[in-house]
Structure 1
Amino acid sequence: MRLRYFIYAQLLLVLALVISCVTEFQPGSVSIPTSLIVEGQITDQPGPYSVKLTKTADYSYKSLNLLETGATVTISDNLGNQEVLKEQSPGGVYVTSANGIQGVAGRSYKLTIKTKAGKQYESDAEVLQAAPPILKLYYEYTVETGGLNFAKNQGWNVYLDTKDPEVLGNYYKWDWQNYEFTAVCSQRELPNGTLTGLGCCSNCWNITRCYNCISLSSDANINGQAISRQLIMRVPYKSTSKYYLEVQQQAISKGAYQFWKSVKGLVSNTGGLFDAAPSSVQGNLHCVNDPATLVYGYFGATGVSEQYINVDRSGGQGTPDADPIPIVPQPSACVVCENSLYRTPNKPRWWQF
């Protein structure tokens, strides 16, 4: 999802720059080639794994249905193992079975796609490398200067320590996700400004991620040495309760590192004349039966090391900068806690509360 938004944003910036440098005119429509966008990976952790297929479209596109549905999506390795992924409803997301194919360090993996229009796509094969373990995960309380809201200035920086292997050519990407228990699965704002909502039919956790935070590193200058105080994220002072955080250290390929480095450059673009163009992040996929067809995204084979931490926020000063709490009428109907990127009924792996 975030990759598609990055591409659209950069195309719009380029368009704005071009229009601002020529005599103003009113075009009937602006067209860009329809291209496939692929997001997915296989890891050495248990699945299921998912691959999301979407499409670019004209700026004047009205439907907003950008999902690539009805495709045949297959993950295979160099030993002949393979699995055809099952498309989820409402479509565009293809998932392996819970007991299906699993990544193994040392094997190479690739993705093949056949769309219902007959186009065939394939990723370059990638060798999966095991990730070194996370040696330490810790946090420090800090107060930033400036700003009118003292609660917003407070936070806990989460850091990671690890050890790079002796072999040169290791590349890293760090991701995180926060789980927070919620009793409200639907909410809306009333005309008077108050929030009302409906409870969850089962236990439910909201999931928070940072979709435009791209944290990368390589061992080009520190081969075989310790990686210390790698900043993962900053925990906000929105409550005095503990903040449950899962951190993922990924061992990625050189190609994946270069791809995400390019994406990170696009995210930080200011729209200047010398900013990189979106086409510079096409990734490791190509169209087999039409080499001129563009395809964006990356399919990676990734080694993963994970660890969790509970950040104690009871030492924050003053009143937290808390979000409004919806009022749930009693008794009330309940809403199903659907499993998605943003919410899950499944208890987090290390949840202790």
Structure 2
Amino acid sequence: MRYFYSLSFLLLSLVFNSCVEEVQLPPRSVESRLVVEGLVTNEAPPYSIKLTYTGVYNSLLYGQQEIPVNGAAVSITEVGGRTVQLQQDPITPFFYWQRDPTFVGTVGKSYQLTVELTDGTRYVSDPEPLHEVPPIDRLYAEYRPRPNDDFSNPDQYEVLLDTQDPDTPGNFYRWSGYGYVPRFSTGEPRGFAGKCCQYCFYPIYGSGSDVQSDALINGKAISRRPVHASPIYYPGQHFIEIRQYSLSQKAYQFWVRFEEQRKRTGSLFDPLPASIEGNLHSENDPTRLALGYFGASAVSTRRMIIPGDTLTVGRIEIKYGTEFVKDGNCQRVYSQGQLLAPENWLK
């Protein structure tokens, strides 16, 4: 009987070993490309343009992160009007700035970006029209508890928006939001004064790629449109700002593709994500496109303060425990934390 079991084990081992064959996957790589991010608005300057190169990506060995574009000659032209030169930021070289206060985006005008690299290659954007945008009529927030099976995120306030789409068809919108929310830490000892710096305000940023077309709602009210989520880590006021942008049709299509890519999940065997090419091309080779997008937009901005008293300290301690409490000085352990609440937020 022992011989029978030994022979059976040997046969099974041979079968499994013969079925397993190591597969050598070829490395997948993508060359570095120029990436452009920025826009002109009808608000007063400064305007920033972010210029980077993508790192060389390799599926078996991760590439570098984004690389700043140094020494480029960058300009913005109002079609039929002025051209202004941008200056590279000496401290944060990813950014080039337009600070001339007399050059302001105007509704009805179109704008072009030109980038000349140090090797002489020139990229030029398609003319981008600056369309009007309706005002934000109302902002309000509603409490949303986290799902019972979600222990990695806190409850949140969902920020909703009302606005009125014009009667003319072909309007496209993008929303971005940010704010400051209260956070709590263990603090740090301060001699006889006990602990300090346990409470601070932490910045929260939305995705910035939330877009909508008026194809199905032309001329109607846009009501209860979710535009931002503000997490509840601790009781206290939430300071929220929402920006509503107008978009051209091309810009809308770009942001739709961008959001699809952002939400995508996959595995090692998926194809590489498709490059999201924008509206800049090489002047000598129109088929050579940059990534990213240079836009022009009117902006409507509105702020609000959420009271932040839905959950008390006791309820938060019962619900979260110390799940979202870090050790140390609040403004240091939470990136960009500040000890004081923003002043004059609604002015």
TM-score range, shorter chain: 0.7 to 0.9
Q: Deviations over 1:212-269 (max 9, x none)?
A: x631111101100000000012222212110001000111110000000011111222
Distance apart, 1:205 and its partner CA: 7.1
Matched, 1:207 2:203: yes
**Unpaired runs of at least 5, structure 1:** 1-21, 190-195, 199-203, 329-333, 336-340
Distance apart, 1:152 and its partner CA: 5.0
The CA distance in 1 between the partners of 2:71 and 2:338, in whole Å, is: 26
Work out which of the residue numbers 229, 247, 252 in structure 1 matches 2:224: 229
**Residue matched to 1:265:** 260
**Residue matched to 2:103:** 101
Distance apart, 1:100 and its partner CA: 4.7
Work out which of the residue numbers 249, 274, 280 in structure 2 matches 1:278: 274
Structure 1 residues 236 and 50: CA distance shift in structure 2, 3 A: same
Structure 1 residues 126 and 23: CA distance shift in structure 2, 3 A: farther
Q: Deviations over 1:193-223 (max 9, x none)?
A: xxx999xxxxx97532134x63111110110
Distance apart, 1:132 and its partner CA: 0.2
The CA distance in 1 between the partners of 2:107 and 2:85, in whole Å, is: 21
Matched, 1:319 2:316: yes
**Unpaired runs of at least 5, structure 2:** 1-20, 189-194
Q: What SS does the aligned partner of 2:278 have?
A: coil
**Residue matched to 2:88:** 87
The CA distance in 2 between the partners of 1:316 and 1:229, in whole Å, is: 23
Distance apart, 1:46 and its partner CA: 1.4
The CA distance in 1 between the partners of 2:235 and 2:338, in whole Å, is: 23
Q: What SS does the aligned partner of 2:298 have?
A: strand
CA RMSD in angstroms comes to 3.8
**Residue matched to 2:24:** 25
The CA distance in 2 between the partners of 1:240 and 1:308, in whole Å, is: 20
1:148-297 mapped onto 2 (5 Å cutoff): 154-179=155-180, 206-211=202-207, 214-271=209-266, 277-279=273-275, 281-297=276-292
Matched, 1:299 2:300: no
Contact 1:266 1:276 in 2 (8 A): no
The CA distance in 2 between the partners of 1:343 and 1:119, in whole Å, is: 41
Q: What SS does the aligned partner of 1:157 have?
A: strand
Contact 1:139 1:311 in 2 (8 A): yes
The CA distance in 2 between the partners of 1:248 and 1:125, in whole Å, is: 23
**Residue matched to 2:129:** 127
Q: Deviations over 1:78-101 (max 9, x none)?
A: 232121111002412101116252
Distance apart, 1:290 and its partner CA: 3.0
Structure 1 residues 274 and 163: CA distance shift in structure 2, 3 A: farther
The CA distance in 2 between the partners of 1:93 and 1:342, in whole Å, is: 20
The CA distance in 2 between the partners of 1:270 and 1:223, in whole Å, is: 33
The CA distance in 1 between the partners of 2:235 and 2:310, in whole Å, is: 8
Contact 2:174 2:244 in 1 (8 A): yes
Q: How many residues align?
A: 305
Q: What SS does the aligned partner of 2:30 have?
A: coil
**Residue matched to 1:5:** none
**Residue matched to 1:139:** 141
Structure 1 residues 170 and 62: CA distance shift in structure 2, 3 A: closer
The CA distance in 2 between the partners of 1:275 and 1:31, in whole Å, is: 11
Structure 1 residues 23 and 252: CA distance shift in structure 2, 3 A: farther
Q: What SS does the aligned partner of 1:40 have?
A: strand
Contact 2:142 2:157 in 1 (8 A): yes
The CA distance in 2 between the partners of 1:39 and 1:53, in whole Å, is: 7
Matched, 1:35 2:30: no
Distance apart, 1:291 and its partner CA: 3.1
**Residue matched to 1:75:** 76
Q: Deviations over 1:14-63 (max 9, x none)?
A: xxxxxxxx983376x75423210000101111121110111123235876
Structure 1 residues 39 and 348: CA distance shift in structure 2, 3 A: farther
**Residue matched to 1:110:** 112
Aligned residue identity for 1:76: T
Residues 163-172 or 52-61, more deviating: 52-61
Contact 1:77 1:107 in 2 (8 A): yes
- The normalised TM-score by structure 1 is 0.74
- The normalised TM-score by structure 2 is 0.76
Q: Deviations over 1:101-154 (max 9, x none)?
A: 2111111111001011111001110110121000010011233441375x9553
Identity of aligned residues (%): 31
Distance apart, 1:325 and its partner CA: 5.7
Structure 1 residues 219 and 148: CA distance shift in structure 2, 3 A: closer
